Structure 1
Amino acid sequence: MDARWLILADDLTGAADCAIAFRRRGRAAAVIWGETAWDEEVPVLSYDADSRGLAEAAAAQRHAALLQRFHTAGRRLFKKIDSTLRGHPAAEIAATLAPLRAVHGHAFGILAPAFPGTGRTTVDGRVRVGGRPLEDTEVWRRDHRYETAELGAMLATAGLASRVLPLETVRGAGLAGALAEAASVPDRIAVCDAETDDDLSRIAEAGLAMDAAPFFIGSAGLAHALAASAPPQGLDPVRIGPDGRGALFVVGSMADISRAGARRLVAEGAVLHLPVTPHTLLADADGRAGLAAQVAERLAAGGDVLVEIVLAGEPDMSLGLRLAHALADALASVAGEIGALAATGGETAAALLTRLEIRGIHLADEIEPGVSLGLTLGRFSIPIATKAGAFGDADSLVRIRDRLRKARTEGSLT
């Protein structure tokens, strides 16, 4: 199997961590967003629909329009959803059906959101994180739109029929038959349990072998399984010239693990920590100017800077997008001093890159599960690492710093 792929994602970090699966197997892959022109020759194109913060109807409409713009019969579709069901996955999945029928004459989806490398699994059609029900976790308490993490119930909110294929089916000899039976009902989604990477590999293999090509729905765990179904190819390493400017780290995610990572990075002692409050970002022009001046001075001298949005008490999630754009505006003037960039949280990364007139990422490597490394495309080209806020551990930002430092000093991203 040497298919070309279109990955349609609901946020930037997800678009990157799915596409990097194919880059690691030797397939050229790029992430784009907005009105960026795209190269038909790129085997794996990942588009950030930036739909997680939209209203449900708007998210669905955006996905339908993007499929009409990008999807062709020559590309398989991977619909990336959040592994913890944030955003509007049900409505977005439903919105893909009509455009797919227009291209292929049918639409059958295989949903497997598990990402075992980051502790996300699916058992009995329900999402679990670190072995616990998703409903018992921080991310669900902080940000959820569905009443339950049961995937069939989630799909039903958008009028979608589904059939759960439990672990015994996924691991047994009857998986291909079960998928064929599920596909016999128009517009039905097969919900596949998975606890391990091997489970996902079995799902990918069986789905790719179907006569009527399905579309796949999931996170980076399934993307890695699909990418591994083809023989690895040779691809030249991505290289750049050495750069004496410092790296800018931006932490906008409210996830506890991102905050722990910021504390660990500060404790290492080699980064200037600049916490910034919502008041400064939204109502203090002098404070924003002072922030930019400090960042620019440090980066120009070759030092690393960590800018962290800090909130007191329980975070107000409704401010997330406003804060991301306000921070992007505050940092726009330092663009020429940035030697490398790392951003945690899809909204933060998308807002900052768009404001810096970056329109895409040429992917190079994966630092760890869920953390992609590449070169920016657009106004300038620098190494960039993106990480979903809830992925990784307390040392993830330290590992990202070390990898970006190697890229800047040695000129190699692989």
Structure 2
Amino acid sequence: MIGAIADDFTGATDVAVALRRRGIPTVLFFGLPPEAAEPPGHDAVVIALKTRTAPRADAVAQSLAALGRLRSRGVRQVYVKYCSTFDSTAEGNIGPVLDALAGAMDVPLVAMTPSSPEHGRTQYNGYLFVGDVLLAESHMRHHPLTPMTDSYLPRLMEGQSAHRAGVVTLAQVRAGAMGRRLAELRAEGVRYALVDAVDDADLVTAGRALAGAPLVAGAAGLAGGLAAAHARSGHDDPPAPAPQGAAAVLAGSCSARTLEQVAAMIEAGRPAYRLDALADQDPGSLARDALAWYDTLDVEAGAPLVYASAEPSVLRRVQEIVGAERSAAILESALGRVAQGLVERGVTRVVSAGGETSGAIVSALGVPGGLIGVEAARGVPWIHTASGLALLLKSGNFGDAGLLVDASR
């Protein structure tokens, strides 16, 4: 049984579907699962936290609590899911969380990689690439919350951890020497082993080598490799079909891909309403105005879009005037309230773009979790809740330009 702890809600759906894709029945909880909760038969549990940009002490405390809940369920392997672009600041939270979990589990060496080739993230000689460029030369260099200005993963890890980090090279992975290299790093007192992988076959090889490791970390790619090692016959039931019903799209991510997807919604003629934190800093009134606009729409106009996503120049101006953290909090709260109002008005399909946005929406709706359904895009599954509400939680960079249009038809 695998238990995953994810640092944001869209990352949780990504890792959950990586497990489910290999035929492993997977249940996803938003926040700590109730102690008495016993969902239908499953071999994997994913706990979605919202700790990527939380204060370090809070991120550690929440992650330790999640570990305790997984241990109480008899989980044999714990997987810590972080973003494939290693989103973090110089203070954490990847390093502090893993330091705490490894200490609590008495694990001397943790193998990890953010490599996720299907999303264009690969690790080579310890360096992280986004497509054909190094991480620090990609769009992530200008991320508003976690700007990534270094591409060498051991250096990034050592900067936010109390322990040393090393590399398992691609040559060692492909030569079947991964076990020997991990033993060498452990003997040298290294706590974190960053594993090179440039295609899915490398991740499957790494997954087999790590099938018995008590604690592993990385993006959804390595989780899929572990799932391949753990998968067994008899669990190949198809996921629930794509849901039907009234839909709405809520977007808060300012990533380049989400901006393309927002533009595609507008170009498709979908009704669109922008939340402006410069015009109003009260999330309650922002939400009320958006819902009043929604109430005027013709139902034949197609699923609408309410968005806070903004081009870099606009985003910088908002952050300069309102403040980065305050503006983010205002807009996330507003989007959560809009989601509540939409569901009250009969919306049964909510499509969300952005990790922080998805966390705010799920929290506002009080959704405890759900079963993983079919994917609208690679790594972006529908989540079916007990109440009949269906959620599609999209990480900012995921999906093609038409994803929001297609998912909300």
TM bracket (short chain): 0.7 to 0.9
Query: 1:12 matched to which residue of 2?
Result: 9
Q: Aligned partners of 2:266, 2:147: CA distance in 1, in Å?
A: 34
Contact 2:16 2:26 in 1 (8 A): yes
Report the secondary structure of 2:95's partner residue.
helix
Shift in Å at residue 186 of structure 1? 5.8
Query: 1:250 matched to which residue of 2?
Result: 250
Which residue type is aligned with residue 100 of structure 1?
M
Q: 2:172 aligns with which of 156, 169, 174?
A: 169
Query: 1:180 matched to which residue of 2?
Result: 183
Q: Is the deviation greater in 233-242 or in 388-397?
A: 233-242
Shift in Å at residue 91 of structure 1? 1.3
1:357 and 2:356 are equivalent in the alignment:
no
Once the two structures are superposed, what CA deviation does each residue of 1:97-136 show, in whole Å capped at 9, x if it has no partner?
12212xxxx4431111101111111111121101211111
Shift in Å at residue 307 of structure 1? 0.8
Q: 1:387 aligns with which of 377, 384, 394?
A: 394
1:153 and 2:155 are equivalent in the alignment:
yes
Query: 2:201 matched to which residue of 1?
Result: 198
Shift in Å at residue 149 of structure 1? 2.9
Q: Aligned partners of 1:295, 1:44: CA distance in 2, in Å?
A: 39
1:7–1:345 Cα change, 3 Å = same
Shift in Å at residue 287 of structure 1? 5.1
Report the secondary structure of 1:248's partner residue.
strand
Which residue type is aligned with residue 84 of structure 1?
T
Q: Aligned partners of 2:332, 2:156: CA distance in 1, in Å?
A: 28
* Mapping for residues 265-276 of structure 1, pairs under 5 Å: 265-269=265-269, 271-276=270-275
Provide the aligned length of Structure 1 versus Structure 2. Answer: 387
Shift in Å at residue 68 of structure 1? 2.2
* Mapping for residues 227-246 of structure 1, pairs under 5 Å: 227-229=227-229, 230-232=231-233, 233-238=235-240, 243=245, 246=246
Query: 1:412 matched to which residue of 2?
Result: none
1:75–1:282 Cα change, 3 Å = farther
Once the two structures are superposed, what CA deviation does each residue of 1:178-206 show, in whole Å capped at 9, x if it has no partner?
22333445672211111111111111111
Query: 1:409 matched to which residue of 2?
Result: none
Which residue type is aligned with residue 105 of structure 2?
L
Q: Aligned partners of 1:151, 1:121: CA distance in 2, in Å?
A: 12
1:299–1:375 Cα change, 3 Å = farther
Which residue type is aligned with residue 166 of structure 1?
T
Shift in Å at residue 45 of structure 1? 1.0
Q: Aligned partners of 2:60, 2:29: CA distance in 1, in Å?
A: 19
Which residue type is aligned with residue 114 of structure 1?
S
Q: 2:333 aligns with which of 319, 325, 342?
A: 325
Q: Is the deviation greater in 307-316 or in 107-116?
A: 307-316
Shift in Å at residue 234 of structure 1? 2.4
Report the secondary structure of 1:217's partner residue.
strand
Shift in Å at residue 280 of structure 1? 5.3
Q: Which runs of 5+ in 1 are unaligned?
A: 406-414
Once the two structures are superposed, what CA deviation does each residue of 1:163-191 show, in whole Å capped at 9, x if it has no partner?
20111111113222222333445672211
Q: Aligned partners of 1:393, 1:247: CA distance in 2, in Å?
A: 19
Contact 2:7 2:50 in 1 (8 A): yes
Shift in Å at residue 345 of structure 1? 0.7
1:25–1:284 Cα change, 3 Å = closer
1:75 and 2:80 are equivalent in the alignment:
no
Shift in Å at residue 303 of structure 1? 3.5
Contact 1:107 1:215 in 2 (8 A): no
Q: Aligned partners of 1:254, 1:385: CA distance in 2, in Å?
A: 18
Contact 1:273 1:305 in 2 (8 A): yes
- TM-score calculated relative to the size of structure 1: 0.85
Q: Aligned partners of 2:371, 2:205: CA distance in 1, in Å?
A: 29
Q: Aligned partners of 1:241, 1:362: CA distance in 2, in Å?
A: 13
Report the secondary structure of 2:232's partner residue.
coil
Q: Aligned partners of 2:298, 2:225: CA distance in 1, in Å?
A: 39
Query: 1:408 matched to which residue of 2?
Result: none
Which residue type is aligned with residue 48 of structure 1?
A
Q: Aligned partners of 1:218, 1:42: CA distance in 2, in Å?
A: 22
Q: Aligned partners of 1:24, 1:108: CA distance in 2, in Å?
A: 28
Contact 1:251 1:306 in 2 (8 A): yes
Contact 1:299 1:305 in 2 (8 A): no
Which residue type is aligned with residue 215 of structure 1?
L
Q: Aligned partners of 1:240, 1:192: CA distance in 2, in Å?
A: 35
Query: 1:46 matched to which residue of 2?
Result: 46
Q: Which runs of 5+ in 2 are unaligned?
A: none
1:329–1:297 Cα change, 3 Å = same
Query: 2:112 matched to which residue of 1?
Result: 111
Contact 2:33 2:69 in 1 (8 A): no
* Mapping for residues 270-309 of structure 1, pairs under 5 Å: 271-279=270-278, 282-283=281-282, 288-296=287-295, 298=297, 303-309=302-308
1:239–1:122 Cα change, 3 Å = closer
- TM-score calculated relative to the size of structure 2: 0.86
1:107–1:171 Cα change, 3 Å = same
Shift in Å at residue 6 of structure 1? 0.7
Contact 1:82 1:218 in 2 (8 A): yes
Shift in Å at residue 240 of structure 1? 8.3
Query: 1:398 matched to which residue of 2?
Result: 405
Q: Aligned partners of 1:183, 1:376: CA distance in 2, in Å?
A: 43
1:202–1:347 Cα change, 3 Å = same
Q: Aligned partners of 2:113, 2:284: CA distance in 1, in Å?
A: 46
Which residue type is aligned with residue 206 of structure 1?
A
1:296–1:30 Cα change, 3 Å = farther
For the aligned residues, what is the CA RMSD? Answer: 2.5
Q: Aligned partners of 1:24, 1:285: CA distance in 2, in Å?
A: 39
1:376–1:114 Cα change, 3 Å = same
Contact 2:154 2:194 in 1 (8 A): yes
Contact 1:18 1:80 in 2 (8 A): yes
Contact 2:283 2:334 in 1 (8 A): no
